[in-house]
Chains A and B, each alone.
Chain A
Amino acid sequence: MVGSLSVLGAGLAFGLGAIGPGLGIGMIAGKAIEGMARQPEMAGRLQTTMFLGIAFTEAIALLGFVLAFILQAAK
C-alpha cells in the first residue's frame, strides 16, 4: 500500500510541480519575443535575461523531479 501510494505521490509531485514552471517559462519566452519584436536591437541582451529567467523558473520544476525520485525510493 505504501509502495503504490509513494509511486502515485511521485507522479503527482512531478506532474503538479511542472504546471507552474511550464506556464512561467511560456510567459517568459512570450514576453521576451514581444520585447525583441518591439526593439530588435535589444535582442541580444533580452535573450541573456530570458535564459536566466528560464533557468530560475525551471529549477522549481526540477525540484519536483528530484522529489519524485525521493518519494519513489520511499517504498
Chain B
Amino acid sequence: MDKIGPGVEELLHELSVMTVNGHKVPVLGGPFVLTNYMFWLLVAFVVTLVFFIVASRKVSLVPKGVGNLAEMGVEFVRDGICIDVIGPEGKKYFPFVATAFFFILFNNLIGLIPGAKPGTGTMGTTVTWAVMVFLLYNFIGFQKHGAWGYIKSFAPSGDVPLPLKLFVWLLEVISHLVRPLTLSVRLFANMYAGHVTLGVFALFVVLLSEAAGPVKVLAVLPLALQIIMYAFEVFVALIQAYVFAILTAVYIGGAVHAGEH
C-alpha cells in the first residue's frame, strides 16, 4: 500500500518539476525551473510545427498523406467551425480559431503518450488561452459596434421596461465575465482528470500484478478498463479541442453580431 502513495502524489502534483539526472533545469537563468508541463508544451509545439511544415511543403491539387490529413483538419475548422458559426465573415477569424484548435489538439494527444503530460492539463496554459479569447472577442465587439453600442447590446432591445432591461444587462455582463473561468476550467479539468484516471488504473494493474498468489490474475480487470478508458480519452482529447474552438467561434460570432437578435 505504501507504494501507491508516491505514484499518486506524482500524478496529482500539477507543477511537477522536471529533473534531468536529479538536477532541476533552470529557465531563462532566473529563479524558474523547467516543469514537466513546460517540457511537453515545447514538445507539442515542435510536433505541430513539423507536422504543418511537412504538410505544406508539397502542395498539390490532389493532396495525399500528411498533406491530406492537415488539409482535412484545416478545412474542418474553416467550414465546420468558423463559417458555420460566425457566418461568411468567419474567414477573417479563422487563423486564431485554427491556432487554438491545433494547439489544444496536439497537446491533448501528446499527453496521451504514456509518460508524457498534456500541456493543456495545467491551469497556466488554459487560463492564458481563455483570457486571450476573452480579450479578443470583446475587442472585436468594441471595434465593430463602438464602445456604447457594444455595451448597450447586452440589454434587450424593444419594448421592455427599464428596470428589467438593467437587470438583464447585469446578468449578461456577469455571464460574460464567467466565460474565461468556465472555458479554462473545462479544458484543464478534462485533460487533468483524464490523465489522473489513466495513471490510477495503470497503478492498479502494476500493484495487482505484483501481488502474491493467484490474486495476480485479477490484474486483467483494471487492464481491460484501462484500454477502454484510453480509447475514451482519445475521444475526449478530440472533443475538447473541438469544444474549445467552437466556443471561441461562438463568442466571436456573438461579438460580431451583437445586438442583432
Contacts and interface: CB of A to CB of B under 8 A. Distances in A.
Contact of A52 (B185, B193, B247): B247
Contacts of B182: 56, 59
B84 A48 contact: yes
B189 A62 contact: yes
A13 B188 CA distance: 18
Contacts of B243: 51-52, 55
B201 interface: no
Contacts of A55: 186, 243, 247
A32 to B, nearest CB: 14
Given A51-B239, A51-B242, A63 B247 contact: no
For this complex, into which size category does the number of interface residues on chain A fall?
Answer: 10 to 19
Interface in B210-233: none
A69 B196 CA distance: 12
Interface string A53-75: 00110110011011001000000
A65 B186 CA distance: 10
Given A48-B84, A51-B239, A51-B242, A62 B247 contact: no
Dominant SS among interface residues on chain B: helix
Contacts of A65: 189, 193
Contacts of A66: 185, 188-189
Nearest to A64: B189
Contacts of B255: none
Contacts of B189: 62-63, 65-66
Contacts of A62: 185-186, 189-190, 193
Given A51-B243, A51-B246, A58 B186 contact: yes
A1 to B, nearest CB: 21
B17 interface: no
A63 B84 contact: no
A55 B244 CA distance: 9
Contacts of A63: 185, 189
Contact of A59 (B186, B239, B246, B250): B186
Contacts of B12: 69
Interface of B: 12, 84, 182, 185-186, 188-190, 193, 239, 242-243, 246-247, 250
22 contacts: A48-B84, A48-B246, A51-B243, A52-B246, A52-B247, A52-B250, A55-B247, A58-B186, A58-B190, A59-B185, A59-B186, A62-B185, A62-B186, A62-B189, A62-B193, A63-B185, A65-B189, A65-B193, A66-B185, A66-B188, A66-B189, A69-B12
Given A56-B182, A58-B190, A66-B189, 18 more contacts: A51-B239, A51-B243, A51-B246, A52-B243, A52-B246, A52-B250, A58-B186, A59-B182, A59-B185, A59-B186, A62-B185, A62-B186, A62-B189, A62-B193, A63-B185, A65-B189, A66-B185, A66-B188
